[in-house]
Structure 1
């Protein structure tokens, strides 16, 4: 079996010289023979794809079923936000444990008999999902050279696309034909299959010289604690501000200020703290490209969930589609976006240029979101399908080309650390991609509620409950004068939600122009490649 540890000629010697060194170095290598691609390699890749399917389903399957879940469990005010945010905030055995945790969380969610149990289950799921997202990228980084990772991530993306494509439709069909609990129970057989496949195929090298106690000491417990506490504090303020309490209330201002101060404190601790392995090592952000890509990763992941969670509200509360048909209506997001992501990843591997992909992608994403703000109750199917396709192709172009750009300026030895940091930024964006549009949406509903002549209906939608009642079954149950008024309120509130989204996507497009095009390494240097299971020896030089 060939050696997995190949010294890269573009290996930078210092953080401050990362970009300069990478730019002037010419890598010469046979791109087809620098790492092994055997049966186990493909088994691992497929296993990672099936694992990713878990996260893909749970990212989208609840978007069409959320109003029914919220109503059945009697979640009040802005608590529905925590069904999603609890999910986000929260190598071999690590990977297996991660998948097992996610599967356990799915079982808890399916058996939930109240809102607290559901949120607890989603938190457990979130722990597993966060690990799934990170470990997939880390494992691929340890098996495939940077320049070629796009081609193999395209395989994982193809399987991921199945989940995101079918998720909304499956969620809609489930709540119409059976109980919403199967939205979560469906993960049990998938998780079990992923566990078996990865257990059999995933055998990789690891550092045998470091004890478990030494490894645990390297975990940035303080940094993680500060960050999680700060995030939860700010999210509480955003979720309840303007709904349960006025924005001027001390119950909103105190957690908001403490949370923002916590972010500042987290930054200081990462730079000057005493953790052996900071959760966000400052050296990873020593270049202009890394900083821009991290900002744009945050913006892109936020915008993805911006659309995923609020476009279904348009279809159900404005166009009056049922949950199942809403699942069909959002299919263009995946049918166009995921193939677009795979094609752009392959193009990145072929030409090694990420800057044009980023600019064009964000520009198209901004255009598509802007067009969403023009949709109304009379918009044709061709129109909303075309608008979604434009946004989806743009989002897809940057979906999986951000990580290679973030990894390019740092040394090969820092690939795992950079992958973990990048995945954290992406997940952090997911949290805000639900919380921020929810705040905008709730505040717009409050502003526009005076249009509704029926005081009882008006009161139902206030206090952060509009998302809960954003279903065709509720709207069509109202008499026609009131029904039209409610539709207009939902329509115009969503217009503002998407208009703000345009500004975020536009900012990302502008920032991408300032990225530096750094050649992507075509050689692999890692301690954690595939283990030669036949001989039991590590693949090291």
Structure 2
């Protein structure tokens, strides 16, 4: 079936406003139900979002310390990358499972994965165990990111969705904002293991609330074996394998191996080919129910939104993972203070993100919001290139605020704009595909600046006149690992100033390249076509009218 963009305006508006013809083809319309159970579910989703939000950033300030404690070397990047890798690779799978088995038990499994992974990470005594735990944790985190959006989409019409997304977003952003500070405080005052163990009580609370309150509709007629046959096993396997291959190349390119090395080129080609093969495979007769239906890429607007989602996510983590390096290595801040100094990048995004989704709910126009957001973000990243050892507090606060305001303006208006392109029956698959692009962007948003930083640092480290000190920073990933104020400021002057200057120069190149990514996003938005947001709700996954238990809620 054609998307709303590809149909005549009157037909597209009929789909979105719930015409008789459209209603006859899909599930019965559901009245937007703001009952006590609705608000209990919203509270449950908000608590669940804290898990993913906190863990996304709590590691940023603690990672250099963890890297040194467990002697990770250039494997440090896997602590973050494997988290984003598994999160990205399994999101389409969870979207399909949610359609087949319903939302409740899939959500319970997702949170259980995250909590289990947190426990494994906290108990890790070597790099392999830590990375394995982060992989399990990432599966849960990726699932959390998609399932929250899917459930909100089940409960709230598209046009009004921004008003309620803002509630979850507020809680999520508070968790994200606290992450760097919490990570710094934990490292400074107790064992780094609490960076992960802090999730255990939150995860337990979320599991109880999900079990009690998340009682929504699903297909009860189909048998378990019939549902199992609907899963796209081969499609999911191809997608996971291709994603792993690409990430391996990005992780070691320019660090352990040169970019021209067969150890980098081979997995990169295999991974990119695998992604292309996945796209083709999903269109073949062998796949009865594709995990990512090809119709999701059927028009220019959906393709554009997927692209800018990827770029915006990359830029978000670009900033979150390399601003702490600037604060600790260049300005000489402790890990806990760096966590406070990065707060403007998160806290300023709160009013920007909430204001933008409220504007979207009121006026139903997403394209102007995207243009404004990317324009402001590009300006802010340009100002980041001015960061140096003499940058004042006012300057780094204001520059962060500008960048964060732009990024926040875009962050939560992208999903509604992609959902508007397709009918409600495709919402879980659409949300899963969009979440995959967002998570895949996060992977590149850590790997690309890491490669840029390490390569540029290697080019500039000849400015360190002491050969013994220069040797301390030789080797891939070492410069990031050594980005601790206590280490850098242990050198006497003028060696200390030389080291700081090299860090400052390497980070400047990181920000220069980010301008290109943000500028490209701005120009891509002009390709988008504005589609009217639906005001009706048609879904089989709404709140159960007669729950088996807890009928008083």
Say if 2:95 is the partner of 1:82. Answer: no
Residues in 2 aligned to 1:318 and 1:135: alpha-carbon distance in whole angstroms: 40
Q: CA separation of 1:416/1:472 partners in 2, compared to 1, >3 Å: closer, same or farther? A: same
* Aligned partner (choices 419, 443, 447) of residue 431 of structure 1: 443
Say if 2:299 is the partner of 1:287. Answer: yes
Which residue of structure 1 lines up, in the alignment, with residue 494 of structure 2? 481
Equivalent residues of 1:104, 1:125 under 8 A apart: yes
CA RMSD of aligned residues (A): 2.0
C-alpha displacement at 1:534, in angstroms? Answer: 5.1
Which residue of structure 1 lines up, in the alignment, with residue 364 of structure 2? 352
Residues in 2 aligned to 1:186 and 1:288: alpha-carbon distance in whole angstroms: 43
Question: What is the 5 A alignment of 1:314-393?
Answer: 314-393=326-405
Say if 2:159 is the partner of 1:163. Answer: no
Which residue of structure 2 lines up, in the alignment, with residue 50 of structure 1? 47
Residues in 2 aligned to 1:403 and 1:378: alpha-carbon distance in whole angstroms: 40
C-alpha displacement at 1:276, in angstroms? Answer: 2.5
Which residue of structure 2 lines up, in the alignment, with residue 515 of structure 1? 528
* Aligned partner (choices 266, 272, 278) of residue 290 of structure 2: 278
Residues in 2 aligned to 1:160 and 1:320: alpha-carbon distance in whole angstroms: 29
Instruction: Determine helix, strand or coil for the equivalent of 2:348.
Output: helix
Equivalent residues of 2:349, 2:407 under 8 A apart: yes
C-alpha displacement at 1:19, in angstroms? Answer: 7.0
Q: CA separation of 1:155/1:390 partners in 2, compared to 1, >3 Å: closer, same or farther? A: same
Which residue of structure 2 lines up, in the alignment, with residue 27 of structure 1? 17
Residues in 2 aligned to 1:82 and 1:166: alpha-carbon distance in whole angstroms: 23
C-alpha displacement at 1:197, in angstroms? Answer: 1.4
Residues in 2 aligned to 1:534 and 1:207: alpha-carbon distance in whole angstroms: 15
Structure 2 unaligned regions, length at least 5: 20-29, 87-102
Question: What is the 5 A alignment of 1:61-140?
Answer: 61-77=58-74, 79-90=75-86, 91-140=103-152
Q: CA separation of 1:455/1:150 partners in 2, compared to 1, >3 Å: closer, same or farther? A: same
* Aligned partner (choices 434, 457, 460) of residue 445 of structure 1: 457
Question: What is the 5 A alignment of 1:450-469?
Answer: 450-464=462-476, 465-469=478-482
Residues in 1 aligned to 2:16 and 2:228: alpha-carbon distance in whole angstroms: 39
C-alpha displacement at 1:259, in angstroms? Answer: 1.9
Which residue of structure 2 lines up, in the alignment, with residue 9 of structure 1? none
Equivalent residues of 1:19, 1:409 under 8 A apart: no
Residues in 1 aligned to 2:343 and 2:213: alpha-carbon distance in whole angstroms: 33
Equivalent residues of 1:16, 1:286 under 8 A apart: no
Equivalent residues of 2:58, 2:179 under 8 A apart: yes
Q: TM-score, normalised by structure 1?
A: 0.93
Q: Deviations over 1:49-106 (max 9, x none)?
A: 11111111111001111100000000012x1111011111211111011111101111
Instruction: Determine helix, strand or coil for the equivalent of 1:409.
Output: coil
C-alpha displacement at 1:43, in angstroms? Answer: 1.2
Say if 2:57 is the partner of 1:60. Answer: yes
Equivalent residues of 2:215, 2:547 under 8 A apart: no
Equivalent residues of 1:205, 1:529 under 8 A apart: yes
C-alpha displacement at 1:245, in angstroms? Answer: 2.3
Tell me the matched-pair count. 523
C-alpha displacement at 1:230, in angstroms? Answer: 2.0
Instruction: Determine helix, strand or coil for the equivalent of 2:461.
Output: helix
Structure 1 unaligned regions, length at least 5: 1-11
Residues in 2 aligned to 1:480 and 1:234: alpha-carbon distance in whole angstroms: 42
Which residue of structure 1 lines up, in the alignment, with residue 514 of structure 2? 501
Q: TM-score, normalised by structure 2?
A: 0.91
Equivalent residues of 1:15, 1:283 under 8 A apart: no
Equivalent residues of 1:55, 1:129 under 8 A apart: yes
Equivalent residues of 2:16, 2:536 under 8 A apart: no
C-alpha displacement at 1:38, in angstroms? Answer: 1.2
Equivalent residues of 1:445, 1:462 under 8 A apart: no
The more displaced of 190-199 and 399-408 is: 190-199
Equivalent residues of 1:316, 1:470 under 8 A apart: yes
Q: CA separation of 1:269/1:104 partners in 2, compared to 1, >3 Å: closer, same or farther? A: same
Equivalent residues of 1:354, 1:517 under 8 A apart: yes
Residues in 2 aligned to 1:65 and 1:535: alpha-carbon distance in whole angstroms: 45
Equivalent residues of 1:158, 1:338 under 8 A apart: yes
Residues in 2 aligned to 1:283 and 1:26: alpha-carbon distance in whole angstroms: 17
The more displaced of 223-232 and 364-373 is: 223-232
Instruction: Determine helix, strand or coil for the equivalent of 1:379.
Output: coil
